[in-house]
Amino acid sequence: MDSDVRIDLHSHSVASDGTDTPAELVTLAAAAGLDVLAITDHDTTDGWAPAAAARPAGLTLIRGAEFSTQIAAGDRMVSVHLLGYLFDPADAAVVAEQTRLREERRRRGMAMVQRMAADGLPISGGQVMRIADGAPVGRPHIGQALIESGVVESVDEAFASLLGGPHGYYLPKADTDLATAVRLVTAAGGAAVLAHPRGRGEALALRPAVIGELAQAGLVGIEVDHPDHPAAARAELAAIAAAYGLLSTGSSDYHGHNKTLTIGQETTRPDQLVRLVERTSGVTPVLGELS
């Protein structure tokens, strides 16, 4: 792959909590000058087929998902997202765990909405389920309901005031143990990469030695360049990756208008993607002309 190939390895569609359809996502990626895009919806692979069907000829599509996981830090559980790339979507253990995670998202989302409604906020569970439209329920869907009902003006405002934990109406969910999720993705032929390990409180749990243990469990890489990472965090993560022989990735974590960032805003070096793909045997990249 040429070194000027542009690669974004983390994006969301309406199959989870983004606002572009999978078809719009791949079209947008190509229009933004990307050569490779990974679709990584939360806890589902439902966007894979429509994204592959609508893929512009020049774009390579990496099929992935973002798994909801947790790890202990002292007596606290810390939420960590794990990107799984090119795993077998029919793997029985993956199917079972993604099904459980989606049910857990629905249960937790409805419990948050119930608490808001009990305090007089004009939103309902039915409204949030309509907005999610079959996708795994996420806080951005609740944020959209709050916009629709005139409570807030943006999803960012909803997170800052009502949805962000541990304040407001945030409730945790029973996510997969992180090391178990790394093994799950790996056993299904995928490559496991820690998503934004210095994004929102993960640093408490993901100390360098812990990341080293995850590498032993099969972790392939860490998302070093992410919009939520300040320069110092990127430098620290690059050093951790080098120390444990992990790949470094970069990605936008694009969510459409649920978040104020641009697709392709952060990118992955081609040599890192080549090595990542070499570690997989679940499904292949859907190739564009450049590959």
List interacting residues with ligand AMP (CB under 6 A): 17, 42, 138-140, 155-156, 159, 253, 255, 258-259
Q: Which does 259 bind (CB under 5 to 8 A by kind): Zn ion, ligand AMP, none?
A: ligand AMP
For the bound state, the minimum distance from the C-beta of residue 138 to ligand AMP, rounded and expressed in Å, comes to: 4
The pair of structure tokens assigned to 110 is 């409805």
For the bound state, the minimum distance from the C-beta of residue 137 to ligand AMP, rounded and expressed in Å, comes to: 7
Q: Which is nearer to ligand AMP, 80 or 215 (CB)?
A: 80
Q: Which is nearer to Zn ion, 20 or 253 (CB)?
A: 253
In this structure, what is the dihedral angle of CA atoms 151, 156, 158, 160, given to the nearest 10 degrees?
Answer: -130
For the bound state, the minimum distance from the C-beta of residue 75 to ligand AMP, rounded and expressed in Å, comes to: 21
Report yes or no: 44 and 133 within 8 Å, Cβ to Cβ. no
Nearest to 71 by CA among 235, 169, 182: 182
Q: Which is nearer to Zn ion, 66 or 91 (CB)?
A: 66
The verdict on 253 binding Zn ion (CB under 5 A) reads yes
d(CA 198, CA 175): 19
For the bound state, the minimum distance from the C-beta of residue 281 to ligand AMP, rounded and expressed in Å, comes to: 28
**What mask, x for binding Zn ion by CB under 5 A, covers residues 58 to 97?**
--------x-------------------------------
For the bound state, the minimum distance from the C-beta of residue 16 to Zn ion, rounded and expressed in Å, comes to: 8
234 half-sphere exposure, CB direction, 13 A CA radius: 11
For the bound state, the minimum distance from the C-beta of residue 64 to ligand AMP, rounded and expressed in Å, comes to: 14
162 secondary structure, DSSP code:
I
The verdict on 175 binding Zn ion (CB under 5 A) reads no
Q: Which is nearer to ligand AMP, 55 or 254 (CB)?
A: 254
* Cβ neighbour number for residue 39 with a 10 Å cutoff: 28
d(CA 36, CA 200): 26
Q: Which is nearer to ligand AMP, 35 or 66 (CB)?
A: 66
d(CA 113, CA 122): 10
- Strand, helix or coil at 95? helix
- Strand, helix or coil at 111? helix
Q: Applying CB under 5 A, which residues contact Zn ion?
A: 66, 253
